[in-house]
Amino acid sequence: MRILVTGGAGFIGSHLSDRLLEKGHSVIALDNLITGSTDNIAHLAGRRDFKFINHDVTEYIYIPGEIDFIFHMASPASPIDYLMYPIQTLKVGALGTHKALGLAKEKNAGLLLASTSEVYGDPLVHPQPESYWGNVNPVGPRGVYDEAKRYAEALVSAYHRTHGVDTRIARIFNTYGPRNRADDGRVVPSFVCQAIKDEDLTIFGDGEQTRSFCFVSDTVNGLIALMESGYHEPVNIGNPNEMTVKQFALEVIRLAGSASSLTYRDLPVDDPKLRKPDITTAGRVLNWKPEVSLEDGLKQTIEYFRRTVL
């Protein structure tokens, strides 16, 4: 197939492009490089089955020729990024999704929306199944990301019901691995970079809030399985192995062989206290589950940051 990946120079988007090429598809990666980087796709330069277009997905998208499928991955995704680019985050969720859906309708292509576990907000249901509608503060600082993705899901669903566009919705939970930006503020790159420098690991709050971490290759395999499924309802893609942030910090220190200690700061506004995906639907519909252990994934991630940061 000929596949368009918006946000194709981003963390997950670049890994997705790699995997699609491995499966024999041709890939067009579209990115305006606000948070993505051509470093993530430099190894693909010169390939006849890969093309990069520097373009803002919120503007009209012109792609000559046929397109079989669109992965709409474009969006700032870390708190540092969407707090720095709040308007752009809202625009890519609304206007960018609208433009991507318009292209899918024009080309008679399928489209997968990369949504997020943040649609559940600070959840009152645990673990979080796709049937849970969420607990989101629409006017808080995190609302620009949460509500952009919630609106994008509504728009994708409307295009499916009204125009018959062949859509998918993936609710992606915390994903980590090589090509995470060192400065994107998320817990994995922050902890790993601090640990390999023997700096204190910064925990926000008391560290008892929970997270679940999915290695990027597992997330990508889940996205591709969803693409191939023909399933139109939202699907959680994540690892249900839940742990506290403090437990995770200590594991990073252990695997990095670090002399770091822990330091604590105030919890940000509306930071979720619990995060664990219910992946029953992914197992039933996609026959998918994460395969990479936290230890193996962290070892690969630590090695990546040792090469790129130190």
* Catalytic residue selected from 82, 85, 120, 145: 145
Q: Which pLDDT score, from 0 to 100, does residue 185 have?
A: 86
DSSP 8-state symbol, 165: -
Task: Strands of the chain (E only): list them.
Answer: 2-6, 26-31, 50-54, 69-72, 110-116, 167-172, 175-176, 201-204, 210-212, 214-215, 234-237, 242-244, 262-265
Tell me which residues of the chain have a pLDDT lower than 70.
none
Q: Which pLDDT score, from 0 to 100, does residue 200 have?
A: 95
Q: Which pLDDT score, from 0 to 100, does residue 32 have?
A: 98
151 catalytically annotated: no
Q: Which pLDDT score, from 0 to 100, does residue 73 have?
A: 98
What are the distances in angstroms from CA 42 to CA 66, 102, 208, 220, 235?
25, 29, 39, 19, 31
Inter-residue contact 188 to 11 (CB < 8 Å): no
pLDDT digits (tens, 9 = 90+) for 212-253: 999 999 999 999 999 999 999 999 999 999 999 999 999 999
Q: What predicted TM-score, i.e. pTM, was given to this entire model?
A: 0.95
Q: Which pLDDT score, from 0 to 100, does residue 166 have?
A: 98
Domains of the chain listed by start with CATH number = 2-176+214-239+277-291 (3.40.50.720), 187-209+242-275+298-308 (3.90.25.10)
**Concatenated DSSP letters of 223-289:** HHHHHTTT--SEEEES---EEEHHHHHHHHHHHHT----EEEEPPPTT--S---B--HHIIIII---
d(CA 310, CA 245): 24
pLDDT digits (tens, 9 = 90+) for 59-104: 999 999 999 999 999 999 998 998 999 999 999 999 999 999 999 9
Question: Cβ-count burial of 38 within 10 angstroms (0-12 exposed, 13-18 middle, 19+ buried)?
Answer: middle
